[in-house]
Structure 1
Amino acid sequence: MFKDGFKSGFVSIIGRPNVGKSTFLNHVIGQKIAIMSDKPQTTRNKVQGVYTTEDTQVVFIDTPGIHKPKHKLGDFMMKVATNALREVDAILFMVNATEPKGKGDEFIIEKLQGLETPVILVINKIDKIHPNDLPPIIESYMNELEFAAVVPISALQGNNVEPLLGEIKKVLPEGPMYYPADQVTDHPERFIISEMIREKVLQKTRDEVPHSIAVAIDQIKQREEGDMVDIHATILVERDSQKGIIIGKRGSLLKEIGSEARTDIEMLLGSKVYLNLWVKVQKDWRNKSTQLRDLGFRDDEY
């Protein structure tokens, strides 16, 4: 049972790579649950963030950006993105105000046409354009699809995020509280920790590395004495040259990655962390179904 007037539902966030979906999600939830990078295809799995107020609960699904698959991992990411359009109560179609409408946007619009689900157009990064540039952008999308609402925002600065949440509430049905009020994500800590490590690798390595890496958490163990958690993790790459890049001269880059990831993980866990990172070459792991399943990419879940 739920109290009268309480609204709840599942809301999918969809858009081209690097439009700011994860930035928006982290801002709304109030803490980091989705990793951020200026490189496209950062998000690989759907990330559920839970936003709860006295009269509303919104379960956000942040999807991988739409792109043309080049390997089995890419196929998985596309399947996650398109399946997230089904059986949700509303869809946020997020676009980048600083970029013209492209083929990726057209592809998404094609997927959205014919759906009965309410679609809200979210124009992100308005802090980077002149206000006079906004009306033509809105018009270019309004001609393609009928939207339940159009909301320009800056996810980075938080501009207009509250009005957007208000528009989402309008289209949600009355329903139960799916998660406890203090829960912000349905992902286990192990998953979020692996993503925090991967984020630092993405931020610190050159273009040839990012999409070839994955992070496997080998062990998380609370020490019996003292406030310390031991975490052992392996960064998987596809080539020996990539391993050398991530480790860096005399291990310097790997130390930087570990130090910055540890800071985020300590904030997540609320305790001191000893983080031990290894780098391992696993050739062509993105095309190996068994390896993908071991890393949590399971087709049968979607």
Structure 2
Amino acid sequence: MERMSAPSPAPESAEAPPHRSGFACFVGRPNAGKSTLTNALVGQKVAITSNRPQTTRHTVRGIVHRPEAQLVLVDTPGLHKPRTLLGERLNDVVRTTWAEVDVIGFCLPADQKIGPGDRYIAAELAELKRTPKVAVVTKTDLVDSEGLAQQLLAVDQLARELGFEWQEIIPVSAVADQQVRLLADLLVPLLPEGPPLYPDGDLTDEPEQVMIAELIREAALEGVRDELPHSIAVVVEEMAPRAGRPADKPLIDIHAQVFLERPSQKGIVIGPKGKRLKEVGSRSRKHIEALLGTPVYLDLHVKVAKDWQRDPKALRRLGF
């Protein structure tokens, strides 16, 4: 029997582009949309958001997986003029992060004119000569096309005045899901070549208990009037599966403490007959159950840690 000749090899296809992986950091003054943007890119809630400034206190890494790249997003507190020891430590976190990432995205809201806080941050970014910088004009759903065009020109001019150029200027709306994917497309080529840094499927490297505490704190901040300063901290004291539950009906018990700075603030957080604290528990429990994928019993208690933002020992105890 004649042997069949092997088919001639197919012509080689063009080489696949090298895999890229690295860290990107969103910076900006408080409430510029950094955390919301991180959540939109990752596709899941990994960073606490609030309409109050200075919400983010822990560096939360959100991980965007692509076939050709892994983009690790570092979410930092907003850089601001510190009034407390906590404020100074948050600013230290920001500057340390800036020095370690591969690309920086500067978030500027489309609906607010560039102010002294933006100029202060831009001036600090100008000192980072080697790190690529992308201007991200956020909240574009809040302005019309003319207002957006004016803001884009102002953002371009800001860099020119400080002697540097943006690698890109991109308008986005995380809420309306406009150009979020394009932002990732623009960030990926600025990352170094390399293998994935985290296993496929991981969305964050933040410990679950820290994320749960942040979800509770977010719920506690919601709807609080101006009478309550930004002085809420949450610590998860205990978290464990409830014993004796059948395998197909698990329940996780979570006991958490909500810390305030003054006794007068307790009534605001607890509310009449405990109504507001129940709402905080109900609202945060839904997000916690979505995070863990299992039903949760959430036990919340409110305590006073006097002036904890200014007390080094209290800051350490509360994880700062």
TM-score (norm 1): 0.95
SS in 1 for 2:258: strand
Aligned-residue offset at 1:279: 0.3
Whether the aligned pair in 1 keeps the contact of 2:139 and 2:173 (CA below 8 Å) is yes
Counterparts of 2:220 and 2:226, CA distance in 1: 11
SS in structure 1 of the partner of residue 274 of structure 2: helix
Deviations 1:109-168 (A, max 9, x none): 111113211100000111111111222212212123210001000011110111111110
Aligned partner of 1:222 in structure 2 is 241
1:102-181 superposed matches below 5 A: 102-115=115-128, 116-145=130-159, 146-181=165-200
What is the Cα deviation at residue 4 of structure 1?
A: 6.5
Say whether 1:86 aligns with 2:80. no
SS for the counterpart of 2:211 is: helix
Q: Which runs of 5+ in 2 are unaligned?
A: 1-15, 160-164
**8 Å CA contact retained: 2:17, 2:68:** no
Q: Whole-Å Cα distance in 1 between the matches of residues 100 and 77 of structure 2?
A: 17
Cα distance in 2 for residues equivalent to 1:136 and 1:157: 21
The reply on whether 1:234 has 2:257 as its aligned counterpart is yes
Match of 2:72 among 51, 59, 62: 59
SS at match of 1:84: helix
> 1:144 aligns to what SS in structure 2?
helix
**What residue in structure 1 maps to residue 201 of structure 2?**
182
Unpaired stretches in structure 1, ≥5 consecutive residues:
298-302
Aligned to 1:76: 89
The code of the aligned residue for 1:247 comes to I
Alignment equivalent of 2:224, drawn from 191, 197, 205:
205
Cα shift readout 1:235-276 (whole Å, capped 9, x = no counterpart)? 000111101111111111111101111111111111111100
Q: How many residues align?
A: 295
- Helix, strand or coil: the match of 2:230? helix
Once the two structures are superposed, residues 150-209 of structure 1 have per-residue CA deviations (whole angstroms, 9 ceiling, x without a partner) of 100001111011111111012111112110010000100000000000000110322232
Give the deviation of 1:210 after TM superposition. 4.8
Q: CA 1:104–1:274 in structure 2 vs 1: closer, same or farther (change >3 Å)?
A: same
**Mapped partners of 2:97, 2:51: distance in 1:** 23
Deviates more, 1:201-210 or 1:85-94: 201-210
2:26 and 2:167 map into 1 onto residues whose CA distance is 15
Q: 2:272 corresponds to which residue?
A: 249
Distance of 1:119 and 1:19 partners within structure 2: 16
Q: Is 1:13 matched with 2:26? A: yes
Structure 1 position 274 matched with structure 2 position 293: no
Q: CA deviation at 1:66?
A: 1.7
Alignment of 1:29-68 (within 5 A): 29-68=42-81
Retained in 2: the 8 A contact 1:201–1:210? no
- Secondary structure of 2:197 counterpart: coil
Q: Partner amino acid for 2:268?
A: I
1:24-75 per-position Cα deviation (integer Å, ceiling 9, x unaligned)? 1111111111111111111112111111111110111111112111101111
Counterpart of 2:306 in structure 1 is 283
Partners of 2:300 and 2:282 in 1: CA distance: 10
